[in-house]
Amino acid sequence: MDNIITIENLIFEYNKGDESHPVRAIDNLNLQVERGSFTAIIGKNGSGKSTLAKNLNGLLLPTEGVIHVDGYDTRDDDNIWNIRQTAGMVFQNPDNQLVSAIVEDDVAFGPENLGIDPAEIRRRVDKALKDVNMGQFKKKAPHLLSGGQKQRIAIAGVVAMKPKCIIFDEPTAMLDPKGRAEIMSIIDELHAEGITVILITHFMDEAVRADRVIIMHEGRILLDGTPQKVFEQEELIRSVNLDVPLMVEMGAKLRKAGIDIPQSIITEEEMVEYICQYE
Partner 1 sequence: MSIRVENLIHIYDKGMPTEQLALDNISFAADDGRMVGIIGHTGSGKSTLLQHLNGLLRPDSGKIIIGDTDITQPGVSMVEIRKKIGLVFQYPEYQLFEETVAKDVAFGPKNLGLSREEIDERVREAIELVGLDYEEMKDRSPFELSGGQKRRVAIAGVVAMRPEVLILDEPTAGLDPKAHKDVLNMVEEVHKRTGNITILVSHNMADIARLCDKIIVIDSGKLITSGTPYEVFSKKEELRAVGLELPPVTRFTETLRERGIDLAATILDTDTAAEQIAAYLKGKAK
Contacting positions for partner 1 (CB under 8 A): 16, 44-46, 92, 146-147, 170, 173-174, 176-179, 202, 205, 241-243, 246-247, 249-250, 253-254, 257-259, 268, 271-272, 275-276, 278-279
Q: How far is the CB of 77 from partner 1 (least distance, A)?
A: 32
Q: How far is the CB of 235 from partner 1 (least distance, A)?
A: 15
**Which C-beta is closer to partner 1: that of 119 or that of 256?**
256
Q: How far is the CB of 23 from partner 1 (least distance, A)?
A: 12
Distance CA 261, CA 34 (A): 31
**Which C-beta is closer to partner 1: that of 26 or that of 237?**
237
Strand residues in the chain grouped as ranges (E):
3-14, 23-34, 38-42, 64-69, 72-73, 87-90, 165-169, 196-200, 212-217, 220-225
Reported for 177-186, long-range contacts at CB under 8 A and 24+ positions apart, including other chains, are 178/148, 179/146, 179/147, 179/148, 179/149, 179/151, 180/148, 180/206, 182/133, 182/148, 182/152, 183/148, 183/151, 183/152, 183/155, 184/209, 186/131, 186/132, 186/133, 186/152, 186/155
Q: How far is the CB of 184 from partner 1 (least distance, A)?
A: 14
**Which C-beta is closer to partner 1: that of 139 or that of 256?**
256
Longest dimension (CA), the chain: 65
Q: How far is the CB of 74 from partner 1 (least distance, A)?
A: 27
**74: phi then psi, degrees, rounded to nearest 5:** -65, -20
Q: How far is the CB of 16 from partner 1 (least distance, A)?
A: 8
**Which C-beta is closer to partner 1: that of 88 or that of 179?**
179
**Which C-beta is closer to partner 1: that of 192 or that of 259?**
259
Q: How far is the CB of 146 from partner 1 (least distance, A)?
A: 6
Distance CA 121, CA 119 (A): 5
**Which C-beta is closer to partner 1: that of 43 or that of 110?**
43
**Which C-beta is closer to partner 1: that of 93 or that of 100?**
93
Whether 38 and 209 have beta carbons less than 8 Å apart is answered as yes
DSSP letters spanning 81-96: HHHHHHEEEE-S-GGG
